[in-house]
Every structure is written in structure tokens, then in C-alpha cells.
Structure 1
Amino acid sequence: MEHGSDAPEKPRALVVDDEKQVADAYALRLEGVCDVDTAYSGGEALPTVEEREVDVVLLDRHMPGMSGDEVLSELEERDYYGRVIMVTAIDPSFDVLEMPFDDYLCKPIERAGVRAAVRQQCSVLGYETLGEYFSLESKRAVLEAELPPAELEANEKYQGLGERTTTLERRARRVLEDPDPLFDRFETVEREGR
């Protein structure tokens, strides 16, 4: 997003496929839906996720070196907060029951299918993020209503809430298509005890 621009940020996706043409084709299919980065190996994908807040990873299972299954395990180990769509030519078997992905698409996938899957995963991520945001904001609101400002300023956990809720709100607004009514409804709930 450019500085000074009022245009909302788009969701961020990472396409991971060792076949450059395939990765680039999926990236093109997602134009207009989200901002897309590409990685042409599993090893290249992990630093991208570490460096940038990625909302949806489209991950090929069968890659030389670090496979998609290994990338998936590593993402889980690193507590990746986003959604993963396996996009692969490998027919699924019962092993998928134990794998921590959110959707499984078998190649080839048409443009509309990729776009719909990413939009769906963005919505799910948005609502998950919104749930965490509302939970933290309601805790902050009740503390502000009941405790004196000096106590709030002295509490380290309370001080961390503001940064976390700002991050969550920014992300929810980025991945949800029309977040304003959801935030407006939250604001109308009366939480103060006095």
C-alpha cells in the first residue's frame, strides 16, 4: 500500500511451486484478488512467510528438496497464522487427515476455482481474526471502564493489548471484503458497568 493512499490493502498470498510457469500462472490468476508473492521452492517459501504477513499460502505438495508436506509441517511448527491451500497433482489419500492444511485443490485448477478458494480462505481467516480482536477489545473495554488509568498504565499485559488489537484489526480489514458493518456492530455493544 502506498503511503498517503486511501485504497485498502489487499489480502496477501504466497504461491509455492517448483515449476516457475505454474507458480506464475497462479499468481496471474489471483491478480486483483490479492497481492501475490511467488516462491519456486519450499526453502524459498519459509523466509517469505517470516518476512511478510502472508494470509494464504498456495502450496504444491511434490517439490524437490523441501516438499510441500515438509513446508506445511514447518509452518505449523512456526505457528503460522494464516490459511494453507494445497494445490497439487497428487491424488489425496488418508494421510491428508493428519495434515494441517485448510483446502486441497487438485491440478489443473481453473482461474475461477483458484480465486474462489483464496477468497473463501480469506473470509475464514478474517472471521477468525475478528473473533480474536473482539475478545481482546472487550477485555480492554471492561478494564478501562472499571480500573483507574494509573493501574492500566502500570500493567504490562494491558499495555500489549493495544498493539495486538491494532494488528488484528488491520489484518481483518485487509482480508474481509466488507468489514465496516462488523466493526460498527461491535462498537454498539454497551460494556461499561458504570
Structure 2
Amino acid sequence: MTDDRYTVLVVDDDEDVVDLFEGWLSDQYTVKTATDGENALTELEGVDVALLDRRLPTCSGDHVAAEIERRDGDCMTAIISGVEPDTDIVHISCGEYLVKPIGKTELLDTVERLRQRARYDDRLAECANLAAKRGALEASNPRAELERDPEYVGLCRRIDELRAELDDLTRTFDAEDFQAAFETPDFRGGSRIQQVGWLS
């Protein structure tokens, strides 16, 4: 087990479910487990993805998801529950909602989707920050001078690398409307129009 592996927290009051999910995930990820809400909250440090049942002893999965969002915006959350979703899920802090029973492939695919979304968010934030710096430089300095400056050239190169990575990541999203919703912005200032399937 290597320290650089993603860490997944599995939380369910059914120990058989915890053991099953841990077995499915442990080949690819470091896995932490808990069988109630309070213990889940003590296991959050270093967690990249949390898989939560809604009905937990001590405090609900909904509460744990809200606490994860409050404490650590970098941890992605999925609810995996026997409770069918209702409109109340609008108020739950989660990136996925799955109804039990689920299989190994669906579980692994869900974790990978959440990882890709987290990576997208990180790269998008970095790209936006660098683009703002480039905009400030270009507003105050002649372009010809900037293009001779290694720092500016490196900044532009990094933005291009990030944009390419963001485009690659959007291709991993599995629905056309989902991909369109996450379409990489054009950080060069031009408009970028994408027809979204669910609007047509």
C-alpha cells in the first residue's frame, strides 16, 4: 500500500456492506471504514472520497455529508443508500446518489467519476487564477515585451497545459449534457458556445 493512493471512506451501519465495499476498493485505494456517523467524522482526515449510507446510528449520513462539505471542500461524497431519492436530496451535500444494491463495477466507476471531478475542479481553479494574472500583466504591459519575458511565457505555457488537461478530463464524463455543463472555458477571452442537449 503506497502513501500516494487515494483514500476512500466507507460508512454503513451494515458491517457486511462495509466489508464488501472495502474488499472491492482495497486493490486500488486506501480504505477507511466506519459503521456510525460519529466514527465517520473522526475518520475524515486525508479522505478523498466518502461513501455514505443515509441511515446511520449516532448521526445521519446527510449530517456527515454536510460536515464534510463544511470542513473540507476537497473531499468528494457519494450517498449509497437503500432510501429512494426524493426532492430532499437537493439539500444533501453529495456528488452522487446511488440506491442499493449496487455492484462492484458501479462502485468503482462512481469513485473514479468523483476523483475526476475533483481533479477537474482543482485544475479549473488553477487555470482561472493564472488567467487572471495573465490578464493583469497584459493590461499593464506591451505584449511584445511580455513575449520576451520567460516568466510570462511560462505562465502562458502552463495555462495551455491546464486547458488541454481540462479538455481531456471533460471527455471522461459519461453523459453529453454532463460534459457540456463542465465544458472548459476559453481562458483567452473569446466566447465559447456549446449546445447543451437537454436545452434543445
TM-score (norm 1): 0.64
The aligned counterpart of 2:122 is: 129
The aligned counterpart of 1:13 is: 8
Runs of 4 or more, structure 1, over 6 Å off, are 140-144
| Max Rg structure | 2
The aligned counterpart of 1:26 is: 21
Residues 11 and 35 in structure 1, CA contact (< 8 A), matched pair in contact too: yes
Say which of 173, 178, 182 aligns to 2:165.
182
The aligned counterpart of 2:98 is: 105
Query: Aligned partners of 1:43 and 1:72: how far apart in 2?
Result: 12
Residues 33 and 119 in structure 1, CA contact (< 8 A), matched pair in contact too: no
TM-score (norm 2): 0.62
Say which of 58, 62, 71 aligns to 2:55.
62
> In the alignment, is residue 120 of structure 1 matched against residue 95 of structure 2?
no
- Could you report, residue by residue, the CA deviation over 1:85-134 in whole angstroms, capped at 9, with x for unpaired residues? 00111111111122221111111110011001111111111111111233
| Residue aligned with 2:105, SS | helix
Map 1:69-84 → 2, pairs under 5 A? 69-84=62-77
Shift in Å at residue 138 of structure 1?
5.2
Question: Structure 1 residues 142 and 47 mapped into 2: Cα distance closer, same or farther (>3 Å)?
Answer: farther
Aligned residues: 146
Query: Aligned partners of 1:61 and 1:119: how far apart in 2?
Result: 21
Query: Aligned partners of 2:5 and 2:2: how far apart in 1?
Result: 12
Shift in Å at residue 2 of structure 1?
5.0
Query: Aligned partners of 1:35 and 1:66: how far apart in 2?
Result: 24
Query: Aligned partners of 2:128 and 2:24: how far apart in 1?
Result: 35
Query: Aligned partners of 2:117 and 2:16: how far apart in 1?
Result: 29
Q: 36-45 or 129-138, which moves further after superposition?
A: 129-138
Say which of 89, 92, 106 aligns to 1:96.
89
Residues 43 and 66 in structure 1, CA contact (< 8 A), matched pair in contact too: yes
Residues 33 and 115 in structure 1, CA contact (< 8 A), matched pair in contact too: no
Percent identity, aligned pairs only, is 29
